[in-house]
Structure 1
């Protein structure tokens, strides 16, 4: 009976995965085809669409902008959230539940509502950041906080921070030195997992980028939206390139996250 249930579960899982892979495989084949009309399979195959994409200066600039915004946002998130979590777990452990609740507030408001609010807030402000990448950095910073807090806090739960800090103090290390050279290395897996996961999520964000900056600072998602009316083969190549990059980031996040409890 157990073998029958196991086989049934395997069949169900394989069937679901197969159904999910069909559109991805179809998009990939379409991106490699030069013509695909009334035939079941493409009439011929080519890599010209990928060659056009990877040599398109507009795509390379959009990809570079997305990378820059994500890196700046995550660097700011690490600089803020890592010391904050350390203070909470070491000095005020009872605040962990409150922090876990408050850190989810960025998801309590829909992106469209948040974007309209940000536009109204900074429209008449002396600080002119609407339409610039800086407003995206600040917005993405808040989006990345929940992902980073959960992954890093799980790493803090997995280590005995008080024993590590007490041992470091007995050996003459200051709190700052103990944090940098003892606590931080033990958080490496959780930190890397949160970075890759947050990066893959931010790279695919469209609503904030479209409303707050639009074509004034074209990112990968805005580029994909603007190129939707071009050749379907070219768009498929763009989607598959983006999907491959996201898949690699997700795989890296999963690999680093295996050791995080």
Structure 2
């Protein structure tokens, strides 16, 4: 191995260790019986994890987060896939316009958006404040840029028009060709978009706290409400959240690898 390659690997591993250090410290703290004035904890225990996963309020908040995230992602998949196919196949010149429009959710701070949504949906014909529906809509706008960009990059790598023309020659309709020929070729981009968005949405706090709060408590709102409790307990919550995201990502990668 050359000195340059060894140097590059050392730099990468050093950066990886630096990024891993806060997570490792949180993990140790979540397992510690007591850790205050010593370099190492005085003992290890799983009681914080047992207390967390036996807490009905945590389980309900965790379920609420999953429902909202999955609902927003399903909505995003349906709309983004349909939109991307129409643009790529029928109106390719609109791609430049869409690249600007999908960045708009990041142009407005969540706090500002939340205040506007409070005024729109607190009353009137659609009183959505305090319900999961308002969060699904908000989370859809957050996931939209990730979904659109990842799938669009994957779609641009395909020769879409030739694929569709070949499918039409074989007797397939446009819908059937898109479903059977194009969609399987977008699997990698779709998986990347899904789990990047999922990990981001599971950690979203501002919309959830302002628009629903304790009326439909999500995982991050629950974590915020427990900030004055035991640090060991909240550390166990953070590690559990990280492990759930890691597990879901690993399962998705395994399924994706098996289908290749």
Scaled to the shorter chain, the TM-score interval is over 0.9
Give the total of aligned pairs. Answer: 257
User: In the superposition, relative to structure 1, how do residues 15 and 171 fare at CA in structure 2: closer, same or farther (>3 Å)?
Assistant: closer
Q: Is the 8 A contact 1:32 1:233 kept in 2?
A: yes
Structure 2 counterparts to residues 1-261 of structure 1, below 5 A: 3-249=2-248
Tell me how far 1:155 sits from its aligned partner: 1.5
Counterpart CA distance in 1 for 2:22 and 2:227 is 17
Compute the TM-score of the two structures, normalised by the length of structure 2.
0.92
Counterpart CA distance in 2 for 1:8 and 1:193 is 30
Compute the TM-score of the two structures, normalised by the length of structure 1.
0.92
CA RMSD of aligned residues (A): 2.0
Q: Secondary structure at the match of 2:33?
A: strand
Counterpart CA distance in 2 for 1:114 and 1:255 is 37
Unaligned runs of 5+ in 2: none
Q: Secondary structure at the match of 1:34?
A: coil
Tell me how far 1:38 sits from its aligned partner: 2.2
Q: Is the 8 A contact 1:204 1:221 kept in 2?
A: yes
Counterpart CA distance in 1 for 2:90 and 2:233 is 54
Q: Is the 8 A contact 1:193 1:256 kept in 2?
A: no
Q: Is the 8 A contact 1:35 1:42 kept in 2?
A: yes
Unaligned runs of 5+ in 1: none
After superposition, what is the alpha-carbon deviation per residue over 1:166-192, rounded to whole angstroms, capped at 9, x for unaligned? 111111111111111111111111112
Counterpart CA distance in 1 for 2:213 and 2:44 is 35
Q: Is the 8 A contact 1:193 1:253 kept in 2?
A: no
Counterpart CA distance in 2 for 1:61 and 1:30 is 25
Q: Is the 8 A contact 1:192 1:256 kept in 2?
A: no
Tell me how far 1:257 sits from its aligned partner: 9.5
Counterpart CA distance in 2 for 1:235 and 1:54 is 12
After superposition, what is the alpha-carbon deviation per residue over 1:132-162, rounded to whole angstroms, capped at 9, x for unaligned? 1110011111111111101111111111111
Counterpart CA distance in 2 for 1:256 and 1:146 is 24
